[in-house]
Amino acid sequence: MKTAIGIIGLGVMGTSISRNLARNGFSLSLYNRFVKGVEEDVAQKKINQYEELESALPFEDLKLFADSLTSPKKILLNLTAGAAVDHIIDQLLPFLTPGDLIIDGGNSHFTDTENRLNRLQSKQIFFMGLGISGGEAGALHGPSLMAGGSEDAYALSENFLKEMAATTAEGEKACDYVGSGGAGHFVKMVHNAIEYAEMQIIAELFEVMHKGMRMGYTEIAAVFEQWNKNEFDAYLLDITIKILKTKDEKGYVLDRILDKASYNQTGSWTLIAGIKDFHSCSMVAAALFSRFNSNRSKAFKGLSITQQEDVPLKLEVDQLRAVFRFTRTVNHYQHFRLVEEMSEKAGWNIDLQKLCSLWSAGCIIKSKLLVQLSPFLENRLGPFFDPQYLNQLNSDRSSVATLITETANTEIPLPCISAAHTYYKQMTQRKSSANIIQAQRDFFGAHGFQIIGGNPGDLHHYPWER
């Protein structure tokens, strides 16, 4: 019996995707590497464990695995980004023929995806970089899928990808072709950066409420619940509510979790991409550095600044709601601008409205905000250019300033909230202090400066007294 789709890599995501596809009626061949004493009979064990997979075929031999697939062969990789992907491609190639398709469903760097695409094109093998968002639950019940590479590759896989994808509120599938080359993995990378910043914003607001306003977990959860129901409908806020409410016989589970945040490479990759493009990604930078700082050395753990422990912060939860609204808008704006700029440079022609639709279901950053932003992205403009959003941002800004002022003499850090406030001030101020920086550069290095009202690009020097 030949099967329709081959899955390589049966970790959490690979297993959930396999169960999703099997439940949607696709016949599968499952492959996992054999490592004696560590990974043995993994595919067979998964088949035994999950009833959806009872008709799937298990393999530990790549040739037999490839031979079990109908032509053109369609193989989905769920592997750790990096060398493991190249290694398995090298092993697969002898068993593939022109017209077969390899899909990389991991978090690969978009430039690696483009290199693999170019390499496999010369062998007439289709390759696609597929961004998958939604975590374990999304992979199982319906993720958001961002396909990049050749349109022919997407045409070969569109049927089964759409079947496994989430469905938006409008009844559309959260699956589409976003652009050529590494576009699929690039937008997934940026999606993760938005996720990083939003998680940090929520954590900062939690800390303000818990430490600064002396609110208990249940009380904070109730506030978040009200916000989510009435305005935001954000997945990350929803899971935070559930986390805050979770108790067992030992008490709140949150109280037993070490304050040490982990991270993968996608946050830093986005920051680096922004830096290379001379684009401000201050929100993901703040979120990423906060995770780094949570792994602080023992030398710093005993230090503490003077606190106003006995005086609760004088803040209203409606002010914090405004802070959440403000920072999320800035976060999304920064990252949509990065996608827009990189898309133009690479010739990907990424549709920002399409991203709003793809990210509105089945993914970690899904929220009502994406639906609200979509109309303002039709002409590739951000919300800063729309009077409705500009008025809202200006209104919310005072709450952000109040929060920053109130926490200044406490131990509560606000890296992402402060980054959003600073970015907004710099982008909207009438005149910045950059003229003194350029004067300094001209003074010590004769780098030159532009004159107000002069021709763009014309550089002038001044004979500074030394």
Decide the pairing of beta strands 144-149 and 57-59.
Answer: unpaired
Give the DSSP letter of residue 133.
E
Give the DSSP letter of residue 101.
E
Rounded Cα gap, residues 84 and 105, in angstroms: 13
Closest to 16 in 3D by CA, of 40, 49, 38: 49
Q: Tell me the H-state helices in 142-216.
A: 151-164, 183-207
CA 52, chain centre distance (Å): 30
Angle at 163 between CA 159 and CA 166, to 5 degrees: 130
Q: What share of the chain is helix, strand, coil (3-state, %, to 5)?
A: 55, 10, 35
The catalytic residue among 46, 74, 188, 366 is 188
Q: Is 195 a catalytic residue?
A: yes
Q: Is 250 a catalytic residue?
A: no
**Contact partners, residue 436, CB within 8 Å, separation at least 6:** none
The catalytic residue among 195, 198, 204, 406 is 195
Rounded Cα gap, residues 271 and 266, in angstroms: 9
For residue 319, give the amino acid letter: Q
Angle at 197 between CA 193 and CA 199, to 5 degrees: 115
CA 420, chain centre distance (Å): 18
Burial class (CB in 10 A: 0-12, 13-18, 19+), 7: buried
What tokens appear for 339 in the block?
Answer: 């996608």
Q: Is 292 in contact with 271 (CB distance < 8 Å)?
A: no
Residues carrying an active site annotation: 188, 195
